[in-house]
Amino acid sequence: MTPPPPRPTAKAHQLVACESCGQLSRLPKNTKESLTCPTCGERVESRIDRMVSRTWALVLTGMMLYIPANLFPIMTLDMMGNAQADTILSGVIQLFQSGMWAIGLLVFCASIVVPLMKLIGLAYLLISVQRAKPNRKRDRTRLYRAIESIGRWSMLDVFLLSILVAVVNLGQIATISPEIGAVFFAAVVIVTMFAANTFDPRVLWDSAETATHHG
């Protein structure tokens, strides 16, 4: 059974949508001429310039930051003079041992699994664009939408830590202080959010000849 012919894209009809307001405009015949949205006045681009190289730089940066974010302690609990530093994983283990399985599983997914899966998913999308794979475009677009939508939930550990630092401050009895791991973890989340916003999902629908020119 022969696969159905590819559907024509907006770019094939010389059309481009404004990323700010969604207004559809026709591309100028001169490719060097810039296009301004007639509705909101924002600059309109058919494809983001050097999108692949920029997104790769952010993804690789996120991967490098992910390692110290999980190796270094994220906070230190000082209870009556006994200081204990915890990484993300050791904190999850303590939640499990305390019987708080739901919270521990939530922190494990949001703080360890989600950032890693986002980085792997973006790397897969970039490789598929560079190799100009013509199949499963709809599935790859759905994957990108999922990566883009769940990015903010990766900040759960940072939110919990900020609340604990503000609430648990009992002078000499108990104090909680953030550690360098929290900085690395926040950097991973921010970098991956920038990477998801930098990636242009429109290239997933380009033809093989067109996709190889983006990077």
- Checking if the pLDDT of 91 tops 50, the result is yes
Give the percent of the chain with pLDDT over 90: 13
- Nearest by Cα to 87 from 76, 104, 68, 74: 74
**pTM summary value:** 0.73
Indicate the SS3 state at residue 45: coil
Q: Give the CATH fold of the 50-206 domain.
A: Butyryl-CoA Dehydrogenase, subunit A; domain 3 (1.20.140)
Residue 151 and residue 193 in contact, taking contact as beta carbons nearer than 8 Å? yes
Mean per-residue pLDDT over the chain, rounded: 75
State the SS3 of 97-153.
HCCCHHHHHHHHHHHHHHHHHHHHHHHHHHHHHHCCCCCCHHHHHHHHHHHHHCHHH
Whole-number pLDDT of residue 79: 59
Q: Specify the domain boundaries for CATH 1.20.140 within the chain.
A: 50-206
- Nearest by Cα to 203 from 142, 115, 141, 136: 141
Residue 176 host element (H or E): strand 174-178
Whole-number pLDDT of residue 61: 96
Whole-number pLDDT of residue 24: 73
Q: What is the mean pLDDT of residues 22-49?
A: 70
pLDDT digits (tens, 9 = 90+) for 134-179: 677 788 888 888 888 876 666 666 666 666 555 555 455 556 667 7
pLDDT digits (tens, 9 = 90+) for 104-131: 787 788 788 888 999 999 999 999 888 8
Residue 81 and residue 141 in contact, taking contact as beta carbons nearer than 8 Å? no
